[in-house]
Structure 1
């Protein structure tokens, strides 16, 4: 029995409720409607840091009065020592570019195994600022870069230099001083691969933990740098930022199509992420005792979610409409539970009939937030061995049955319909970044990425049925000899049959596909908030807003930064 199966089995009992069905959970639009939760990777990382009291100190701080130079932090955990190395360079306005084609940035940084001496620091200085054009060794396991917010950074420095605090209303519009434009890991550019990181660095052995940590460090450095520049500009009037305002700053991020294929190419891992969230929800539905504390905290969290949504600024009409609908859903939930919650199962079922998908999934996040004792331990089970295994001895009749049961969603799709195969995914030659092509207008479909899982299943099923009609007693091995090009999709079908979730149930080749749902789903698992789509292909968002500061480590930690709210503006000092 796998670990997740053992956990799921522990939920079973005479009164146990089933997990939500796969066709409901893995619907693309629902995945694109989920929100951050206690199990999001940023939350689990911060809990670990605060619980284990990591020591994070700058051991080299060489910034000039304008904030340019080199900073090295040492991170001491219960297991190891790491270094976070950051280079701050002048970037002229005509060189500033947030796109992946940029070659210079305000900040570049690396997370490194062990301490950094002068010789190794110089090696990093020669390569880290070059990013893709440079090369690093396996001591490095995350590489990143970031640019200043044109709307916020200089404004915040000016306010602090004059002895004033930044206007909270302005921060709410743009909740960060820097935004990342890329965070690389998993063996790219000579770095340590995931197998090495997960086995040798237990502090970062959860998916994307190291990448999230780099973003957290960037967020804290951005605050330190702004104060450093302001203090040197006018030391006689400077005043540091208030801690509550500092915590309201996050780190900005722009995410495009580069993230989308991950959800398709890592189905076993995605299954694990989704299953842990659904197991947590099942636990709350079965075991969530509604006592006085819950009765008081539930409406408070609904109100927090509403205010957080109101404070989310977006220029996108689609996202604005979604946010307005979520506010209506939250009010409906509040009214429905005004005289008592009843049971979580009944409330969840009511929401499915009366709320939008985003409203339903907001309720799920609130339910998880109420029960750390039922949810938090599941954070240790977000990893999975990503090996799609072929079962050559499986009878073809059984393989056919697996497709009919698990991939019914693909079999009912009409791929002969107008527009059903008009979109193709490919990688650009210049940057090897995913792009979308229109088969009606563009060449290159022959170089498309294998993301059309539904269409591949359909083709496999049709050829399998034809083969079975002639050879009904043959095994999968014989079918593979006859149809070797189908080996990849057959391997996926057989492997995913051992999972509960995993495959996103959508035709990604359809003319009207919305990649935004894919981006939103992955970002929600990360713990991102305040989505601001700039098109259907990329989205701005905010990371770590409301999270503790480095100086909070070692102090009382309530893990209470779910859906963070703008602090009340205090009078100037």
Structure 2
């Protein structure tokens, strides 16, 4: 298979278009404007499952009439056998809580290496429902939990029990039966770490593939459980889901600050994700042939994106305003292209002048959707070796030039101005989850995480300039001896200089920082939709809405679930 480097080289020929610059792409507000795309991890996982025809079947199905009990799915993937183990327990409405401080949930589940016997099942039963309070071993590599949707679950069960289908317009408002509140992996709570998963389990060796699979399986179980309860409630009247309605259900997700630091702490990996997306865009700009069929599909995707955005329900004023701008952008885009357009590059430039950031990035996602032959192979290159290497022999003149060119955005920030160093990111003692506080809180300040990359670069640059006043001809090693606390940021600066993207170009310590941009960026790479902020610190969203069902495996698959619509909805004029 062609490597990303070779593809990039081929694109940078005389007639090729360049990648978008880092100062544009890595702007925090733009990152917080991304949408799902063909390269989002949910899409790539489903393509793999459908292409390779994974065999996923219930090995244990022990549910009572109310849907409580134990279910184990056996997964036969090309490179191994796995088990998805799920425990369904009664939870009163008073105990149901989506916050990380919750201690009980409707469902708890684990993805496990190999088959599960009775002894190991009992071990899981004693620990998985406890989540953070329990402990598992390295056979487990994903742990999760979920709660029922108070607005949907009982209603849907009642409809099926009466032989009716759920109302599509109502489901459009809340497109799921369960909402997961955490999905853990990468060695937490005794689980297998990422290196073991990546090296031992090729089927899940892409970033977050295991976590996304658990959410997909949760979505499947939620539909199965609703039918199971409805059938026991009224066997004579029960009707199963119609396939179109069933596929329209996704799985809900509540995400808080827990994932925000990831984007800062894994810069080489984030660089890889962003570079593959930008490389896909560059390929479309350079090689995407436009004919009548592409124009027709383009118009259909504009319509679909418009309706999908219009169907997104949120009480958040900021997100409502953003959604309205996207609707206006899509209307303007369709009007602008009604009489044709000269090419994708021209259209992107037009969008940068006439559309909001979210509208611009919606256009990017639509463009990628049109050309699977140019885009899909890049899904194989989302991994990165996350080693930040220090170059002790680098002359200080070179190090100074690197900072001035790569981190000009950090040097442009006045960190002495009021409010620019007010925010403090720290971990709570109770759940070891990230929190947002103020440097005025001494307890929080003592536990703060090193997320202020821009400020660290500025401090390093100031020390470097002072040192070079007397030792301009020294190497980085000599500077490190004099300033050992600068080792970490120098290592990062030198390593990121080998990347095209990587560091988020924003001051995360600023008083007015909006963590929602960080959450949305990572969630867009996952492939979620229908963002519904509940505050500036956490957001609800929908996963796998419109995706194929387990019973669709082995059937013809056209990978057409981008921006899914409520069944029987029509396009816009």
- The residue correspondences of 1:537-552 to structure 2 (distance < 5 A) are 537-552=537-552
Q: CA deviation at 1:465?
A: 0.3
Report the Cα distance in structure 2 between the residues aligned to 1:34 and 1:174, rounded to whole angstroms: 21
- The residue correspondences of 1:13-162 to structure 2 (distance < 5 A) are 13-162=13-162
Aligned to 1:278: 278
| Cα displacement string for residues 386-427 of structure 1 (whole angstroms, at most 9, x for unaligned residues) | 000000000111100000000000000011111111101000
| Cα displacement string for residues 244-273 of structure 1 (whole angstroms, at most 9, x for unaligned residues) | 001000000011001100000000000000
Q: CA deviation at 1:443?
A: 4.4
Q: CA deviation at 1:442?
A: 5.9
Q: CA deviation at 1:4?
A: 3.2
Q: Contact (CA 8 Å) 2:11, 2:18: kept in 1 or not? A: no
Structure 1: any 5+ residue segments left out of the alignment?
A: none
Structure 2: any 5+ residue segments left out of the alignment?
A: none
Report the Cα distance in structure 2 between the residues aligned to 1:428 and 1:45, rounded to whole angstroms: 33
Aligned to 1:326: 326
Aligned to 2:425: 425
Aligned to 1:185: 185
Q: CA deviation at 1:191?
A: 0.6
Q: CA deviation at 1:6?
A: 2.6
Report the Cα distance in structure 2 between the residues aligned to 1:441 and 1:550, rounded to whole angstroms: 50
Aligned to 1:201: 201
- Asked if 1:290 corresponds to 2:296, the answer is no
Aligned to 2:463: 463
- The residue correspondences of 1:464-503 to structure 2 (distance < 5 A) are 464-503=464-503
Aligned to 1:249: 249
Q: CA deviation at 1:3?
A: 4.5
| Cα displacement string for residues 482-531 of structure 1 (whole angstroms, at most 9, x for unaligned residues) | 10101000000000000000000000000000000000000000000000
SS state at 1:436 partner: strand
Report the Cα distance in structure 2 between the residues aligned to 1:69 and 1:91, rounded to whole angstroms: 13
Report the Cα distance in structure 1 between the residues aligned to 2:133 and 2:443, rounded to whole angstroms: 29
Report the Cα distance in structure 1 between the residues aligned to 2:328 and 2:181, rounded to whole angstroms: 34
- Asked if 1:510 corresponds to 2:499, the answer is no
Q: CA deviation at 1:169?
A: 1.1
| Cα displacement string for residues 356-401 of structure 1 (whole angstroms, at most 9, x for unaligned residues) | 1000000000000000000000000000000000000001111000
- Asked if 1:410 corresponds to 2:410, the answer is yes
Aligned to 1:382: 382
SS state at 2:94 partner: helix
| Cα displacement string for residues 208-249 of structure 1 (whole angstroms, at most 9, x for unaligned residues) | 000000000000000000000000011011110111001000
Report the Cα distance in structure 1 between the residues aligned to 2:76 and 2:443, rounded to whole angstroms: 52
- Asked if 1:306 corresponds to 2:280, the answer is no
Report the Cα distance in structure 2 between the residues aligned to 1:481 and 1:45, rounded to whole angstroms: 47
SS state at 1:516 partner: helix
CA 1:60/1:443 → structure 2, altered by over 3 Å: closer, same or farther? Answer: closer
- Asked if 1:235 corresponds to 2:232, the answer is no
| Cα displacement string for residues 82-113 of structure 1 (whole angstroms, at most 9, x for unaligned residues) | 10000001112221111111111100000011
Aligned to 2:396: 396
Q: CA deviation at 1:441?
A: 5.7
- Asked if 1:164 corresponds to 2:149, the answer is no
State the superposition RMSD in angstroms. 1.0
Q: Which runs of 4+ in 1 moved over 3 A?
A: 440-443
Q: Contact (CA 8 Å) 2:147, 2:179: kept in 1 or not? A: yes
Report the Cα distance in structure 1 between the residues aligned to 2:117 and 2:435, rounded to whole angstroms: 41
Report the Cα distance in structure 2 between the residues aligned to 1:420 and 1:257, rounded to whole angstroms: 20
How many residue pairs were aligned?
568
Q: Contact (CA 8 Å) 2:438, 2:444: kept in 1 or not? A: no
Report the Cα distance in structure 1 between the residues aligned to 2:372 and 2:96, rounded to whole angstroms: 43
Report the Cα distance in structure 1 between the residues aligned to 2:10 and 2:190, rounded to whole angstroms: 42
Q: Contact (CA 8 Å) 1:295, 1:341: kept in 2 or not? A: no
- Asked if 1:264 corresponds to 2:260, the answer is no
Q: CA deviation at 1:30?
A: 0.3
| Cα displacement string for residues 111-145 of structure 1 (whole angstroms, at most 9, x for unaligned residues) | 01111111111111111111111111111100000
Q: Contact (CA 8 Å) 2:422, 2:510: kept in 1 or not? A: yes
Give the TM-score taking structure 2 as reference length.
0.98
Report the Cα distance in structure 2 between the residues aligned to 1:413 and 1:468, rounded to whole angstroms: 22
SS state at 1:95 partner: coil
Report the Cα distance in structure 2 between the residues aligned to 1:196 and 1:448, rounded to whole angstroms: 30
Give the TM-score taking structure 1 as reference length.
0.98
